Amino acid sequence: MVLAAGLGKRMRPITDTMPKPLVEIAGKTLLDWGLDSLASAGVDRAIVNVHYLPDQIIAHVAGRKAPRIVISDEREMLLDSAGGIVRALPSLGQEPFYIINADTFWIDSGQPSLQRLSLAWDAARMDILLMLTDLDSATGHCVGTDFLVAADGALQRSKGDPAGLIYAGAAIVHPRIFKDAPTGPHSLNAYFDTAIGAGRLFGMAMQGRWITVGTPDAIPLAEAAVAGALAKAI
């Protein structure tokens, strides 16, 4: 599930005429950075939700072969992160699936992070497994940490503790968490808290550079980070 329906207000004026997932970093759209990561992990079908300037995204992904794209159309109402997933559940099926944000991406060092996430997934212990990164490995992030990680990978809210890690915009979730979920707009964050309460929210630190692009002035920083990460990988 690729969350691509947001308004991208902080990216104005660029997003006055294009949806944020189509903003390019180092010659590739934010959306394609994410879809390419899914393809590298062996994902053959991705659900992409759309709301703001949806026809541009639909046209952009029409030619992709891997992963094959299914559009979840939310143009009549923006459903937020969890609401968009609930809308797409009939297409997502009954097995655990990836969720990625369409406005962040990463450059892996070593084994692809989404493959590592899949190998770390344990449905018997977990309802949600988040990909995480540390502050030093992040570009464009300026709001502190999100989670503290126990020795077994279980998560608690960090409340900004610098010893914590950042949610890196990718996860594996089991669809059972959405049983009896409301159909209107609501956030995935509430499900994180429910999973924490049940001891079933876990995390895995990625290896590489994580990049978020929130405002126009973050674009050159992101492009420099890509260049540096790719040069280091050579």
* pLDDT tens track for 89-129: 999 989 999 999 998 999 988 889 999 999 999 999 999 99
Mean pLDDT score of the chain: 92
Residue 51: predicted pLDDT:
93
> Helices 189-197 and 80-92 sit at what angle, rounded to 10 degrees?
80
What is the rounded average pLDDT of the residues 59-75? Answer: 92
Q: State what percent of residues in the chain have pLDDT above 90.
A: 71
Burial pattern 156-190, b for ≥16 Cβ within 10 A else e, equals ebbeeeeebbbbbbbbbbbbebeeebeeeebebee
Question: If you count them, how many residues does the chain have?
Answer: 234
Q: What span, in angstroms and rounded, lies between the C-alpha atoms of 60 and 57?
A: 5
Residue 234 has pLDDT above 70, yes or no: no
* pLDDT tens track for 187-231: 999 999 999 999 999 999 999 999 999 889 889 999 988 888 777
**CATH architecture type of domain 2-233:** Alpha-Beta Complex (3.90)
* pLDDT tens track for 142-187: 778 999 999 999 999 998 888 899 999 999 999 999 998 988 889 9
* pLDDT tens track for 14-62: 999 999 999 999 999 999 999 999 999 999 999 999 999 999 999 999 9
Residue 233: predicted pLDDT:
60
What are the start-end ranges of the H helices in 9-159? 30-40, 54-61, 80-92, 113-120
Q: Supply the DSSP string of 154-219, one letter for each residue.
A: BEEE-TT-TTSBEEEEEEEE-GGGGTT--SSS--THHHHHHHHHTT-EEEEE-SEEEEE--STTHH
